[in-house]
Structure 1
Amino acid sequence: MDRLVKPDSKEVELFFYKGQKCSSTFKLTNLMHTMSVAVSLTTSNPSIFSLNKPLSIISPLSSSSYTLQLSHFSDQPPLTSPADVIVVRTTMLPTGKARHDDLRRIFSKPGPHVFRDAVLPISLVGPHVADFLISHHSNNPLPESCNLYKKVLSGCDKTHLTKLLKLAVELGNVDSVAVLIDAGADASFNDSNGKSLIPFAIRSGNFNVVKLLVDSCCRIKNSVDLVLHEAAAINRIDFMKFLIESFGDNEIDINSVDSNGRNPIHVAAIQGHVEVIDFCVSIGGNPNYMDNKGWTPLHYASSQGHLKSVECLLECSNVKKVRNKDGKTAFLLAKENGHSHLYDILHWGDELVRGVKLDDVHRVKKCIEEGAALNRKDQNGWTPLHWAAFKGRIKSLKVLLEHGAEVDAIDGDGYTPLHSAAHCGHLQGVLLLIAYGSQVNLKSFEGSLECVEKHVSLDYNNLYQEKA
């Protein structure tokens, strides 16, 4: 005979509850027809697990129940790898009786009289164990985690499984999400606010979790879930594209607003996510939209000091001068928050060009003192110096040159300020620009400087000889 007793199961499942007394009962049956059997039970970790009857006697063909319990209350399940076990050792007891000390002596001396009948793994199960596993091993799963999860989840009902699914989704643990859905968790769950699991999956940043939920028939209500807002907040265009493809324009509106009246472009502007702004605008997002406070995306980008976002929004919107409900423009918000690197692009650059066009030297100097960029180009590639030369504003031209404006800056067609002055017949401007080093033989993209010779009677060679 290879064993004297038989356990009623191959492992002992112990339901674990945080901070509570946890125990589990199992049975051993004596297989001997005429002889009693002495039993010794030990755990591989006695400091954690204890047994009510470590030594016992079982009558012939009878069964005896045993209780395994945690030695101490705990907030965390004492999981180990490999799992803790109960070792069942037995020996025949012809007399059918023995004192406790006698049994201890019998099992303290190994030999052929002592059988090792079973090794029973201890499995901790229940929602608290699953919660612990998901929370602590989301990025570094335990070995054979899927099998472990399945075993642990055997003690969970559908409500527990769905609650655990939300946790796994929030942590971005795609393996746990898959196991929980397979175990019966409800992927179509909505919380008390009507929110589906998709927004939580987006926040986790794990694309595979989002895809798994969509594939598992998780549906959204965009006015509640605001999935594009969620994706915009973490700069994930891939999420936005996938969700639009999955749910379509009927369910997802690029211009939907949250409780503050902000659309996804507002959210991207607050965070400084230029790529998201570009994408939203490209599919019909409104960059001029004002929220409940009268703030446009440009107001937010300027307030936060996001230069690239401000530049992007200036290219696709026309709200630079729009005031919010507090009467503040984007420039005033930037100034209020000390974002001096935005002053030129939001205000002083425009003021500088305006001053140049009017030949208002006082305004031009003030703009320069306030940080206006002398060489910033407009949508046509013109610098303030181009405008001064084109308009023949000699006083402004001189101020710009004195403060270091680039004399031969070129526009989109390769024209310099000298080309502009010559084309309009402004001889004084031509002379001043040449005096500051403008190259008279610099070609535009379309050819040479023929317009200078055509509109201004001036011998450049003689002029250079006189200067020499």
Structure 2
Amino acid sequence: MDVGQLPPPVPGKITHYNIELLFDDALGEAKAKCGNPKAALRLYLECKTEIGEWEKVYTGLSKSHVFAGLQPNKTYSFRLKIDSSSVKSDWSTVTTIKTQAAPYTGDDLHHAIRRGNIDKVREVLDSGDVHPDAQDEKDFSALVAAGLRENFEIMELLLEHGADVNRKDASGKTPLIHAASRDLLETVKWLCEHGAQTDTLDKSGMAAIHHAVDGGFVKVVEWMLDHSGDYGFDIEQVETSGGMTPLNRCANMTPDSKAYELAASLQLRGANMSSKAYNNYTPLLNAIIRRKPRLVEFFLARGADIYERNESGQTPYEVAQSVGNTQIMRAFEEKVQQLNLMPKSLRKKSPKPPEVEVS
């Protein structure tokens, strides 16, 4: 029996890679026309190819079919017919269905951030496909990536969509730590103004201020300490890897070209000159060990204790002798000469370093 033209397939669930096609209308009409509601009718489904030819994509007795492996955001055309022993039909009219656009990914978000395309960032975030803290291949969150570019408009947008200003990456670093370790003062300010925790330690045991000190980023450290009352930066915060305060860390890690200026800023703001690391080393001892003569001169000129002994019982002078740096030794010799010329009542009542011949 020829039942003529039947209704086309009806779209069911559509994704960016699948189209579900429903045949209930066509099968129902064919069964009604042939008068057998229980008839098993074989259905043929075709899809038009890119070159305009029809290609069979399904044959069977089912009421539906999922056409999979499609391209996102693309239009597909379908038609069907029935060709069974008892019932036949013409090809149906064509139904055209478009797959959905592919969901956005974290790569899309970070690509938009790198290009500074705030409209695209907003589009990605508004889609709900991507978490605002999505990471890139370097484990940088979106907020870190925007902060490294000092794009505060995008950073505001990320926070509006729920980005965590204190999110830690795999190394325990927060956006503030990343900014502080790269001398990004304006990003540091912005993050603090938006609730960044200043005392958080990463997995190396260091806070943002320690990272800024290690880099010799004087302006960042000065701003942190000048705003300690507002944001909680601590000039005596101890990092847990070596037990060093910022001043001790400056003597140990800050590049020599920046250590003097940074130490002066720290000392001016009240840093403890006698703070000791876990190995009982003071900033002066660390400056000696790291062979930083100008910094040693700075500490000596500002009254650093030259009699303080380390865990091995050595004074700074004895450590300086073992290091053997000529400029450091000269600084100590001048300091000892000054102390020997000082009235006894003003001298520190502690064992003096070994006598030194001053030329």
Normalising by the residue count of structure 1, what TM-score does the alignment of the two structures yield?
0.47
Name the CA distance, whole Å, in 1 between partners of 2:321 and 2:103: 60
CA RMSD across the alignment = 5.1
- The Cα offsets for residues 174-207 of structure 1, whole Å up to 9 and x where unpaired, read as 5575554232133355799998653344235433
Question: Is 2:160 the partner of 1:182?
Answer: yes
Judging changes above 3 Å, is the alpha-carbon distance between structure 1 residues 343 and 6 closer, same or farther for their aligned structure 2 residues? farther
Relative contact order higher in (CA < 8 Å, ≥ 6 apart):
2
Name the CA distance, whole Å, in 1 between partners of 2:191 and 2:74: 43
- The Cα offsets for residues 29-74 of structure 1, whole Å up to 9 and x where unpaired, read as 89x999x9843477xxxxxxxxxxx85479xxx98643338xxxxx
Given that 1:207 and 1:239 are in contact with CA atoms closer than 8 Å, whether structure 2 keeps it comes out as yes
Amino acid at match of 2:68: T
Given that 1:288 and 1:296 are in contact with CA atoms closer than 8 Å, whether structure 2 keeps it comes out as yes
Given that 2:103 and 2:129 are in contact with CA atoms closer than 8 Å, whether structure 1 keeps it comes out as no
Name the CA distance, whole Å, in 2 between partners of 1:137 and 1:299: 49
Question: Is 2:121 the partner of 1:146?
Answer: yes
Q: Which residue of 2 aligns with 1:236?
A: 217
Deviation at 1:243, TM superposition (A): 3.4
Q: Which residue of 2 aligns with 1:39?
A: 47
Deviation at 1:324, TM superposition (A): 1.6
Name the CA distance, whole Å, in 2 between partners of 1:208 and 1:119: 46
Question: Is 2:267 the partner of 1:267?
Answer: no
Given that 1:41 and 1:88 are in contact with CA atoms closer than 8 Å, whether structure 2 keeps it comes out as no
Q: Which residue of 2 aligns with 1:123?
A: 102
Q: Which residue of 2 aligns with 1:96?
A: 81
Q: Which residue of 1 aligns with 2:299?
A: 313
What SS class does the counterpart of residue 123 from structure 1 fall into?
coil
Q: Which residue of 2 aligns with 1:198?
A: 176
Given that 1:301 and 1:309 are in contact with CA atoms closer than 8 Å, whether structure 2 keeps it comes out as yes
Judging changes above 3 Å, is the alpha-carbon distance between structure 1 residues 85 and 341 closer, same or farther for their aligned structure 2 residues? farther
Name the CA distance, whole Å, in 1 between partners of 2:156 and 2:163: 10
Question: Is 2:263 the partner of 1:301?
Answer: no
Name the CA distance, whole Å, in 2 between partners of 1:177 and 1:249: 21
Question: What fraction of aligned residue pairs are identical, expressed as a percent?
Answer: 16
Normalising by the residue count of structure 2, what TM-score does the alignment of the two structures yield?
0.58
Q: Which has the larger radius of gyration?
A: 1
Name the CA distance, whole Å, in 2 between partners of 1:268 and 1:166: 27
Deviation at 1:253, TM superposition (A): 3.1
Judging changes above 3 Å, is the alpha-carbon distance between structure 1 residues 138 and 283 closer, same or farther for their aligned structure 2 residues? same
Judging changes above 3 Å, is the alpha-carbon distance between structure 1 residues 65 and 250 closer, same or farther for their aligned structure 2 residues? closer
Q: Which residue of 2 aligns with 1:392?
A: none
Judging changes above 3 Å, is the alpha-carbon distance between structure 1 residues 147 and 227 closer, same or farther for their aligned structure 2 residues? closer
Amino acid at match of 1:123: A
- Counting matched residue pairs gives 291
- The Cα offsets for residues 237-296 of structure 1, whole Å up to 9 and x where unpaired, read as 333344345551783332333344422111111124222211111111122333333311
Given that 2:275 and 2:282 are in contact with CA atoms closer than 8 Å, whether structure 1 keeps it comes out as yes
Judging changes above 3 Å, is the alpha-carbon distance between structure 1 residues 219 and 285 closer, same or farther for their aligned structure 2 residues? same
Name the CA distance, whole Å, in 1 between partners of 2:118 and 2:174: 31
- The Cα offsets for residues 382-420 of structure 1, whole Å up to 9 and x where unpaired, read as xx6xxxxxxxxxxxxxxxxxxxxxxxxxxxxxxxxxxxx
- The Cα offsets for residues 12-32 of structure 1, whole Å up to 9 and x where unpaired, read as 55xxxxxxxxxx5445789x9
Q: Which runs of 5+ in 2 are unaligned?
A: 1-7, 30-43, 84-92, 342-355
Given that 1:199 and 1:226 are in contact with CA atoms closer than 8 Å, whether structure 2 keeps it comes out as yes
Name the CA distance, whole Å, in 2 between partners of 1:226 and 1:296: 20
